[in-house]
Amino acid sequence: MDRILRGIMRYRYIDRDVMVSQFKQVKNNPQPKAVFFTCMDSRMIPTRFTETCVGDMFVVRNAGNLIPHSQHFVDEQTSCEPSALELGCIVNDIRHVIVCGHTDCKAMNLLYTLKDKKVASKENRRLSPLKSWLCTHAHSSLDKFLSMNGDFKNPMLFSAETELRKFVAYIDPEDKFAIEDKLSQVNTLQQLQNIASYGFLKRRLESHDLHLHALWFDIYTGDVYYFSRRAKRFVIVDENTFNSLMGEIRRYYS
């Protein structure tokens, strides 16, 4: 708390006036452009690496950047993630949903161990809310990952905005990242499929009025990757790729 309170005092002296002026600009007519799902990892600061400001996007964070599939929405038993989708995409008419995973994700590291049935047993799940969360909402990611049998030279197939609008993905084709990071990339793409499962989004998705994107952040290099459906892989966003990625986005999502 000492660190937090000292930070608040620095904010008062350095940043508060700028933020208040931004609050005033968006007070009566905020127009956020994206719903951004990412991990709660303390090293992930999405507004920093996207250089976004007050009013630019809704940010939802949880362990493993998961969006539960709609099959888990029964009556009024739900979690905050689909509520955020409704608030952002239906109430506020936001047109872009972004899921962002990252390297060395502790939730994904734990998910990788859950391939061991003993670790994923009901007894262990009862003792661990995190294991229960992952077993319930990330099992589809783990199953898809394990179906590759460690051979990621072959393509994977994911559904996106609609069942018919599928895309192919090559996961870490240069074999740069750890096996758990490969799982993190699979999991990030699987969440697009989960998002598209919600009926209240169906009309907008089918009419191409709502678009789903995947980002991935390397916490060791600071590099941000965008999943390019044209390149069929996560592509680093830098001076060499920016124009081609922007062209792809304008072509597919304008």
pLDDT mean over 82-89: 96
> What is the structure's pLDDT at 163?
82
Residue-wise pLDDT for 145-184, tens only, equals 999 999 999 999 999 888 888 999 999 999 999 999 999 9
Q: What is the token pair recorded at 109?
A: 């590291």
If you search the block for the tokens 């009566």, which residue do you land on? Answer: 28
> What is the structure's pLDDT at 58?
96
Q: Which fold has domain 31-253?
A: Beta-carbonic Anhydrase; Chain A (3.40.1050)
C-alpha dist (Å) from residue 245 to 15, 172, 216, 250: 33, 18, 15, 9
Residue-wise pLDDT for 6-34, tens only, equals 999 999 999 999 989 988 888 877 889 99
Higher pLDDT, 125 or 139: 139
Per-residue HEC secondary structure of 24-87 comes to: HHHCCCCCCCEEEEEECCCCCCHHHHCCCCCCCEEEEEECCCCCCCHHHCECCECCHHHHHHHH
Residue intervals of the chain classified under CATH 3.40.1050.10 are 31-253
Percent of the chain clearing pLDDT 70 (strictly above): 98
Q: Strand 96-102 relative to strand 211-217: parallel, antiparallel, unpaired? A: parallel
Residue 202's CB is within 10 A of a number of other CB atoms, namely: 14
